[in-house]
Structures are given as structure tokens and as C-alpha cells.
Amino acid sequence: LLEYRSVYTDRGVFCFSDLPNAASTRPPMNNSSEAQGLLNNVESASPTAPDSSRRPADAVDRGAEVSATRGKEWPGGGDGHDGAFGGVFALRDGDAVVYRLAVSVGMLLLAACVGIAGTVLFVVGSSDPPTLRGPDNNRCFSVEECPIELYNLPVAMPLTKGTPLSVKWTVTQGAKSNAKEFPKGKVCPAAPPSSIYDDLGSCGMLKEGHPYYRFNELGYRWVAHSEWTYTATFDWPASSDAIASVLHKKKNGYGSYSMDGMLLLEFEGLDTLATIYLNGAVLGTSDNMFNKYTFTVTGKLKERNNITIAFANPIVYGNDRQNDYPFKVPVTQFPNFLTASENPKAKWLPSPGGRNFVRKAQSDFGWDWGPALIGAGVWKPVHILALHAGRIDYVSPRQTFASDGSVTLQLVVGGQLRAACRTGPLAVEGILTPPGVKADKKHSMVTSEQVIGYDTSGAVCRGLEKLTGGYEQLFPTQTTLTFHLPKPTLWWPIGYSDTPGQLYRLEVRLRAGTASSMGYILDKQHKRVGIRKVRLIMDPLFDVSHGQSLDKWPACKPAIDWYRTMEPGMSFCDAYKKVRQEGSVWDNEKQQYCHDQGCCQSGDCNKCPPQLEQCTPSFKAETFYFEINGLPVWAKGANLIPFSSFHSSVTEKDMRRVLDAALEGNQNMLRVWGGGIYPVDFLYNWADENGVMLWQEFMFACGMYPTTKEFLGSVAEEVRQQAKRLTHHASVVVWGGNNENESAMTWFPEIAANYATYVTDYVDLYLGVILEELRKITGPSTVFVDSSPSNGPLTDEPKRYRKSWGDAWDPNRGDVHFYNYVMDCLDVTLYPRAKFISEFGFQSLPSLLTYFEGATDPSHGSRDFHIASHFAYYRQRHVGGNSEMIRLSGAHFIVPTSQQTLPRRLSDAATDTNGTSAPAPPVPRSPHTVNMTAWLADADPSHILREYRKYFNDSSVGLSVANATETEEEKELVTDFEPEAISRAINNAEVDDFDKFVYLTQLEQGRCYDAAVRHWRRIKADWDARTMGVLYWQLNDVWQGPSWSSLEYGGRWKLLHHMAQRFFAPLMVTVSFNTDADLLEVFAVSDIPLPVYRGTLTVQAIRYSDGTYIYKEVKSDIALGALTSMLLLRTKVSQVLQSTWWDPAHLFTTSCSVTECFLRFIITFPDQPAYVGGKKASEGPRGGTQ
């Protein structure tokens, strides 16, 4: 046990040193009470020498010398390992012994310099002597032999998983809820950090199994529509002694861990809207899932304590806030099965459109790739923190690069100090250790300390005030430590150095007194910092014309006129933008948008051009790419969505499986998408170590957001907390304000009618709050884009960010999101020549193995495993997605006949092919609110609609329907389908066909991505393109269902991810193939930052049927420059397909058609740098052949 005692003295810094051979002034003490009696009389004890009356008043303030010497033997203990230990400790002032204290059998007393208010802190209570180790791991017994660090650090007593206390967590239904699925008065055990679904599942309340299983999301809607209350009861130790015995804390140097002083109750994350009570009294509230909430509880804890957290319902809250708002704040909605019909006759609940008023993961409300499982609960840890004098809040690196290659590294250290009116000297110091260097003071660089919070008289509080009622408050402080690095080791992205991800180790300390006085370390943080310079390069390229003439697009003007007729008051150019972004097809014969399968057969269905002269001002096209340490980087990667709907259940193993797959897929950048959550520290540490760049978005997506004082205040705190947590991570190279919210300003009629109001709110939120608060923490050089896609900033001076307004989908500026489901995805001429593609993609189905891992099981056969089954449409959250996959795969492969038939009402004419070769404009995935009635009815007519009535018709939850009787309209919805869409018998042949169809969707998805990425990488050298990055949508899945991902839920690779290894390889060969022009061009693309030589290109034409080589050409001695794209070969297609060439074994004189043969292109560079590829140098190269 550790026992803590303090003795207050008037002034001074005291040191005790062990003098085993010195004579004692009194006999050895035999018990702790006798020792304590002596300690209590320290101030009145007479010094041995010199006479205290003759000593200067400030003699002790000069600091006592620690001159401990080691005797040949420990008194009473031989070599100090066996037997009892005794010794003499003396307070010294230079050579004069001011006071001696003896310690005998069974006792050890350690003390050291303490500089907080002249306090001397004694640590009593070990039956064994200290075993100290020096730098060489040899035993030592003195400060000279091994410096002893003495600690009085903040101590966190966990109250959730892993707590040493006896804590009992429970969950009950809230007072306003009474769902019949949860018995009245029922109390379930809980195990935070957790989701309400986790705790109800463990309690047996989710009767049908996991929420991901088949239709359980629908059956468990009562969970999302209820309120929940979590309760924790625990006993609090009565003394610091008892707390110490629970914690068993030890550190090098046997420092103290005091639980005295200020106590803080901290909730790392609450989901979301909660009122918190401690022992029946309100502590405060939470309204933001992403924020940590801290409450002072000094003097409020009892022997037995109760914490109650009452969660309000986020759906009701969001709708209420929207109803109270002075105008509509529109947001996209998805078919997430928590929304109700838009059919007014059905009398169901309106769709929950208020998600944007709730600071919660927006995807929890459902998205077009995942379910709506709106959770509640204590989703992150809870603890009680004890502070002595203060703590370090954050460390923000600021780097200045000089022309000679040196770097000045400034560390802005933010702290929080207790509001004590009497303070001693406090110092902040930093120790920086270069990569690969042993962390000791001999090889480390130590800054000069910065002294803060010093008050010699004790009469001035330095602006620190006490709250009413005697409870203290933490006040912020900030200081700067400076390092000069003459030849720094730089942090590089993977593929651009033989040692990517190089990090300096940093230790920052808050110390009592000064470093020279050996004061107690009150807090310390360990960080790893990368030295790198990041710039977003937006250089002018060329003048963009005013756009094309309307006369060349005969279907454009009728479409514009139709919109203006439907929405009177809409301007010509606003209608033009709507036509460009609308996913439907305009039928020029019928003079309307058509929504029937097979519409627009005339071939005259082309829509508006990308740029129209009436609506396009003249501007300069600009580059958009990231420069790291002065080197242009071609960004290759994907978008990262949440790993699960149950955020607290995700483990490091789960994340590592997905992240390592990205690394193996030759990716060097991930975009943390703005509709989910801020990932845990593990992800950022992984990215730092592996040299993977991160595009970190704030959590706002696909809609407008309110700008009330309360909302903006919550967002400001959210930004501050996340910026403080992430600012030191070298991997975060760009911050994004939101996902698609600038684009969303063209999606809603409310905005068109009052555009200026929404622009003002947009600027207030993303520039006035988010950018402003971000750069207060991270510094003015932080790279920031307010939205994605966007045109990027017009100017970004340190104190003035001017937004570049315009068409956010414009390929000539900024980054682009591209979705077009009617195009031939292998026709690369249809892809925009954009500067940076931060989203694009096509859907595929997950494998049956993944479906079997929690979504369904083989016993359901073709009832589930058929493209027209209820299950297949239930899992598809992108409207029209299944028909798109049939059409996409059928464009180049033969889809099994049984998988070609869809229910009549499910055919999505909005994405049917238009039958022409004219390029279609980009189609956002879900820019508009979908028709819920048709979608739900089509998805599962015999089950879903009745389940809606079953679960929504419960007035006890306050969400009842007006009429539970099935209406004629509803009956019609249930029966208005092709027969095969209704319940069907199991057909094993159809299951086999479905498995084949799954394979085809993945194969075609991979081919689409392969064609697009190879094209974009090739045109990085084209003067009018300069494409410098592709982040495909999306890397991972949140559950088992169809999506745009390359990794299935759980991390299993789709075919796309295997192909990504090739099309993201640092060295790539790509082909432009045009049969009409009889032209074949072969290009080599290199992202290697060094030139490569002695390359060989091999071109082969091979017949499918028998593997016969029809053509072969070899080009040798190829040299390829650094970071370039270069044409290697231009030839005629006819020459390749009709060839006579000599082989040592055969003479071939034959021909081949484009449907009979395939072409193989192989490029090899034996001199490829060893570090290139998806692994670090220590793991070996990934090869030099493509």
C-alpha cells in the first residue's frame, strides 16, 4: 500500500537524500505511527547544524543538494534484496545537515524536491528497498547513478469497462417511452462503452437476434423510437490511501499519485441528448455525440454514489427543432425504414428530416449504403480524474522551413490550471527524440523550460478565480516550446521515401518548480510528431470558355422550360443546373421526363452540356493537388465510412484488417467521410506510422444545418476538441468542412427561393465557426477546404479564407464527385477530365460468405438469394441500385436469366440507358428525397408495410399512426407487383445463379474502377487535365449489403480490391484502345519520385479459345522519368489483330477479331527502387512488373 502524507512549510524547496552510513539523531522507528509522529513535528524539530538562527532566511530556497551515496551494504538488509531495510534520510543545505530522519526495519521513506506552495510530499510504505535501474539496466542506488523522476500525475479512475471499483451499470426505458417489446419496470444490465443495441441484446430483449440479421432492423425500430436511461452505482474510497490501494499505481522513481485535490467526472462520449445526474442532483446536459463532457465533482462524492444519464429521443428532438426553426433547413433522406410513407392517405409518420439538428453520426439515421439503427448510450469511457495542480490539454506543432533545409519546430502547449490563489512556479518542458534514436537525455534535445503561473507573494491570483460555492474551475493557459532542427528527418507518404512515416518522439511535461529544482512532474504527454510541409496547389492552367451553345443540345432547352413550368420563379440558369444534376432521362418526343422502363427510344435524349454559355462565367482552370515537402503527390486511395453501426463495439483488430488492406492495395490517402464519426486514435497512429495521408472531414453531410447560438456553440467545442486531439498527427494533411453540402445548395427548392439566407448560414457555420476554431488550435497554415466537392478556396491568406463559389461539380476546378450509372463505364471518354476525384464509383454485391456471417443463412435459399427477393431489395438502400447492377453487368457479360427479372414497379427508369452515345452528365448518388411509398412497397410488399403498421401503431411510444386499418391504397401497394416479387419457393438453381450474379457484379465493378483510374492516372501529364488524385467510393462496408465498397463488411476483399493493387501500383501500364480510329496507344505511368531505367514493354495478342499467341512485340531499354506519364507505343489495332510473326517453335500467320482475342501488356523495370509499393522497405519490395 502507498500512504500519502504532506507537511506544509512556509517557503522553500526541500530535498531528502539517503545516507546509509550516517549516524541517526534518534533510534530507528519501529512502526508507521511513530514515523508519522516524527513527520508531524518536522517544522518544530531543531536542526543538527548549523544553528537555524544563523542561517539566511532564504537559505533553503536556493535548493538542496542531492548528494546521496551508496554504502557497501544496506543496513539490516545485506545487498538490499533480502531482509529488512533501514536508512537515514537527511535534509541538507549545501554541506550543512539541516535535519536528519532515520527509517528502520520494514519502512521506506522517499521524498524529493517539491515546488508547489512549498509542500513536502512524503511517500510511506514499502517493506522492500527500491530496485532502480540505470540507462544500462544496472542496479543503482543514487540520483547520480540513475535519475529519479518523481510524479504527482493526474489519476483517472475508470467507471466503465476495466474499472477496479465495484461499479454496476443498468439501463431502463425512459419515462416517456413504453414500448411493449420492453416490459414495464424491466432493468437490464449494461456494460459501457456500448450501444443500446449491445446492452439490449445481452439482456435478451432483441428476440430475433442481431440487428443486422435479415429484417431485424425493421423489427427493432422500437429501440430507436424509445428513450433510455443509464444508471451507474459505485462506492467511492473514503481516503487517498484506499484509492491508492485500488489503483496500485507505480512509476519509475516511485513517484506519488495523489487523489487529493480537484476531482473531475469526465464522459468521453455520450450518444447523444442526455441529462446527467449525480446523487440525484443535475450535473449538466449533453447535446453532441462527438464532445467530451467534464464536470467538477470535488466534495460531491459520497461513500455510495449514483450516476444517472437520461437520454432523450433524437428523432423527436430533431423534428421538434426543425418545427421551431423560422424556415426549412433541408437535408437528404434515404430509404432507411425508419421513415414513413409520403402517401397522405396512409396516415403514417412523416420522414424524420431533422437529423441535421442533432450532433450525432448522420449515417446512424440511414444512408444509401447502410441501415438506420439510431442508437443511444454511453459509447465511450467514463472516469473520475484527480488533478493536483493542472494538466496538459494539447500539443500543437507549428513548423517553419528555412531555405537551408533546417526546420524550426514550435510546440504550442495548451494547459489547464486549477484556480488556486497561491501558486508556486510551474514549468513546461519538452524532450524531442529523433526517429531511430534511443530515448535518453544524452541523445535527446531538451528545450529550455517556460515558467507559468508563478506568484511570489501569494496575494495575487493571476486572474484565476474561484467559482461560487467553493468549487474550483480549470483555466486555460498556453506556452510555446521551440526546437531548432538543422537537418530534420522528414515525414513522407508511403511510396515517396524508403522510410515513410518517420516520427519524432515527444514528451511534454508540466512540472512543479523548474527542471533544475527536480520538482514533481504534475502531468506529461507522449506524442509522435512528423516533420513535413503540406501545401494545396491551385495554380492557374488556362482560360475556360463561356460554355457551349444551346443550339447544339436540342433536348436541353425543353428540359429547362419544363423545370421552370413546374417551379415558377426559377431562373433559367438554376433550371439548367437542375437538369444537369437530375438523374432522370428527358424524352424529347414526349417533351417530359420519363420514368418508365424502355423510355426514350428515339435516340434524341441528350441533355444539357457540362458548360452552357448563358450560365457559365469566364474563369481560369486550376490545378488541385497536394505537395508534401515540395514534391507533388498523386493521391491514391478511397473513402472511409464507419466500421459498424455500433461504434463502441469496433476493435483495433477490426480497424487494422481494413486499414492494412488499404495499404496492401497501394493506397496512400484515405478520406474520413463527413457523415459518420471521428475515428479513435488508433487510426491516426496507424496512418502516421505507415505514411498514409488523411483527408479529415468534420461530421456534416448532404444537407443544410441550423445556425442557432446553441448549435454553433456546440459545434465550436466539437471543433476545438477534435483539433486538439488530432493536430499533432502528421498524416492529417487536409481538413474538410463537410461532405457535399455546397452541392446540396442546388438540390432543394427551398434554397432556390431564398438563396442568400442559406449562403449566409453556410458561411457562418463552415468559415465563421469551423475554420476559425480549427486554426486557433492548428495554426494559420492548416490546409482546409470548406466542402467536397468544391472549387476550393479563392484565396486562403492566414486571416482571410475567400470561398470560390460556382458549380461544385465543375471538372476544371477543385475536387469532383462523379456518379453516372447510365454510361458505359469502360468508355473512358465519358469520365470528366477533372483535377482531383474525391468520390466516384459503381455498386456490387457482397459474397455469399459475407451474407452468411450474420445477415442471413443458407436455409433461406432463393427466398433471400435472388435479385428479386424481398431480402435483396431490403438490403439495397440506393434507389434503383439492383437494376443498375443488372444493367451494368449485362453491358459486357451474360447475366443469368433468373436474375434478370425485376418487379415492374422496381425498375428505375431514372437510371435506364438513354440509347445514345452522347455523354451523360454526372449523377449524384442521392441528391433528392426519394419516394418512400413506392420504395418501401416495392422492396417487400407482403412484409414491410404490415411490419410498419405493427411497430408504428403503438401509441405508448408517442409515435402512433392515426389509423391501423389497412386501406385500399395500401392493399394495392402490396399486390401491385410481378408474381416473382412475392414469396417464392426455394430454388437451388436460382441460388447458384445468384452466386454467379454476385461474381459478375464484382467483376464488372472492378473493371469500371480499373478503366477510370488508369485513365485518370494517364492524363496527369495532359495540359488540360492534370489529374492528381483519385479516392474511390468507398473502402469499407458498415454491414452486409450492396454498396460501392472494395472491402466487404468484416474486411473480406472484393475483386475490386485485388484490381486496386494493380491500378494503384506505383508503376503502371495503361492502354488507350480505339477500334474506330484503328489506334492503339500504350502508356507507362510512374508515381516513383526517381527516374527508372532499363525497362521492357511486351505487347501480346492471345486468342481466348486456345491461348494461341497472335501478336507479340517487345520494346526494350525504356527510361521513365520521375512522377510522370509517358506514351511508349502507338500502333494500329489492325496490325495487332492481323499479324505474321516468327516464334522459335511456330510460325503464326493468322488473324483475330476484338471478340476473339485479348491483349496483354507487361512492363518491367529491374531497377525499380526497393521501397516502392504498399509495404515499407523492411518488408521488401512489391515488385517491378505491371
Concatenating the DSSP letter of every residue in 644-665 gives -SSGGG--HHHHHHHHHHHHHT
Question: Which is nearest to 348 in space by CA: 949, 818, 876?
Answer: 949
Residue with cell 485479348: 1158
649 or 1176: which carries more pLDDT confidence?
649
pLDDT (tens digit per residue) in 842-854: 999 999 999 999 8
Give the confidence band of 418 by pLDDT, cuts at 50, 70, 90: confident
Place of cell 436469366: 897
pLDDT number for residue 1096: 93
Q: Confidence class of residue 260 from pLDDT cuts 50, 70 and 90?
A: low
User: Dihedral of the CA atoms 719, 722, 727, 732 (nearest 10)?
Assistant: -100
Helix (H, G, I), strand (E, B) or coil at 1185: strand
914-933 pLDDT tens trace: 233 333 333 333 322 323 23
67 vs 207 pLDDT, higher one: 207
With CA atoms as reference, report the closest residue to 228 among 438, 85, 374: 374
Q: State residue 501's pLDDT score.
A: 94
pLDDT tens for each residue of 760-808: 999 999 999 999 999 999 999 999 999 999 988 887 766 678 888 878 8
Give the C-alpha separation, 817 to 839, whole Å.
Answer: 5
What angle, 0 to 180 degrees and rounded to 10, lies between the N-to-C axes of helices 572-581 and 556-566?
Answer: 110
Q: Is 347's pLDDT higher than 60?
A: no
Residue type, 1140: T
Mean pLDDT of 942-965: 30
**% of the chain at pLDDT higher than 90:** 47
Average pLDDT of the chain, as a whole number: 75
What radius of gyration, in Å, describes the C-alpha atoms of the chain? 35
* Average pLDDT for 72-91: 31
Going by pLDDT thresholds of 50, 70 and 90, the confidence category of residue 1176 is very low
Range of 46-50, 202-206, 253-257 with top mean pLDDT: 202-206
Catalytic residue among 742, 839, 884, 1004: 839
Which range (406-410, 465-469, 544-548) has the least confidence? 465-469
pLDDT band at 266 (very low <50, low <70, confident <90, very high): very high
User: How do 732-736 and 784-785 pair as beta strands?
Assistant: parallel
| Confidence label for 124 from pLDDT (cuts 50, 70 and 90) | very low
Cis? peptide before 50, omega within 30° of 0: yes
Q: From CA 1046, how far away is CA 777, in angstroms rounded?
A: 35
Confidence of residue 455 (pLDDT cuts 50, 70, 90): very low
- Top mean pLDDT of 435-444, 544-553, 905-914, 1099-1108 is at 1099-1108
d(C-alpha 327, C-alpha 316), whole Å: 18
What's the distance, Cα to Cα, between the start and end of the chain in Å? 64
Q: How far apart are CA 677 and CA 363, in angstroms?
A: 9
Q: Please identify which of the residues 217, 449, 740, 990 carries the catalytic annotation.
A: 740
Active site residue 65: no
pLDDT value at 513 more than 80: no
Average pLDDT over residues 36-63: 35
pTM above 0.85?
no
- Lowest mean per-residue pLDDT among 239-248, 360-369, 505-514, 641-650: 239-248
With a CB cutoff of 8 Å and minimum separation 6, the contacts of 553 are: 606, 607, 608, 609
State how far the Cα of 479 lies from the Cα of 412, in Å rounded to an integer.
6
pLDDT greater at residue 1183 or residue 698: 698
| Residue scoring higher pLDDT (574 or 978) | 574
Instruction: Identify which has the larger pLDDT, 119 or 158.
Output: 158
- pLDDT in the model for residue 283: 96
What is the C-alpha separation between 766 and 785, in angstroms, rounded? 10
pLDDT of residue 902: 65
* Residue 383 scores a pLDDT above 70: yes
pLDDT, one tens digit per residue, over 874-902 is: 899 998 899 999 999 999 999 998 898 66
Lowest model confidence (mean pLDDT) among 83-87, 237-241, 397-401, 432-436: 83-87
Task: Pick 290 or 51 by higher pLDDT.
Answer: 290
pLDDT of 301 > 80? The answer is yes
DSSP 769: I
The per-residue DSSP string of 1129-1158 comes to EEE-HHHHHEEEEE-SS-EEEEE--TTTEE
Share of the chain above pLDDT 70, in %: 66
Q: Is 242 exposed, middle or buried (0-12, 13-18, 19+ CB in 10 A)?
A: middle
Quote the DSSP letter at residue 1109.
Answer: E
The residue that leads in pLDDT, 1146 or 941, is 1146
The listed range with the strongest mean pLDDT (177-181, 309-313, 348-352, 557-561) is 309-313
Question: What is the pLDDT, as a whole number, of residue 472?
Answer: 66
The mean per-residue pLDDT over the stretch 1030-1045 comes to 98
Residues 491-518 have a mean pLDDT of: 85
Tell me the DSSP string of 528-573: EE-B--EEEE--EEEEEP--B-GGG-TTHHHHHHHHHHHSTT--HH
Confidence of residue 574 (pLDDT cuts 50, 70, 90): confident
Residue 916 pLDDT = 30
- Comparing 310 with 1102, the larger pLDDT belongs to 310
> In the prediction, which pLDDT does 1104 show?
86
Please, are residues 1042 and 849 in contact by the beta-carbon 8 Å criterion? no
How buried is residue 610: exposed, middle or buried, by Cβ count under 10 Å (0-12/13-18/19+)? middle
Confidence of residue 5 (pLDDT cuts 50, 70, 90): very low
- Going by pLDDT thresholds of 50, 70 and 90, the confidence category of residue 240 is low
What pLDDT is stored for residue 630 in this prediction? 94
740 is catalytic: yes
Q: d(Cα 1119, Cα 1128) in Å, to the nearest integer? A: 10
- What pLDDT, on a 0 to 100 scale, did the predictor assign at position 475? 79
Backbone angles phi, psi at 593, to 5 degrees: -75, 135
Q: How far from the centroid of its chain's Cα atoms is residue 1046's Cα?
A: 18
Q: What is the pLDDT of residues 1038-1075, one digit of tens each?
A: 999 999 999 999 999 999 999 999 999 999 999 988 87
Element at 1013 (helix H, strand E): helix 988-1018
Q: How far apart are CA 464 and CA 480, in angstroms?
A: 21
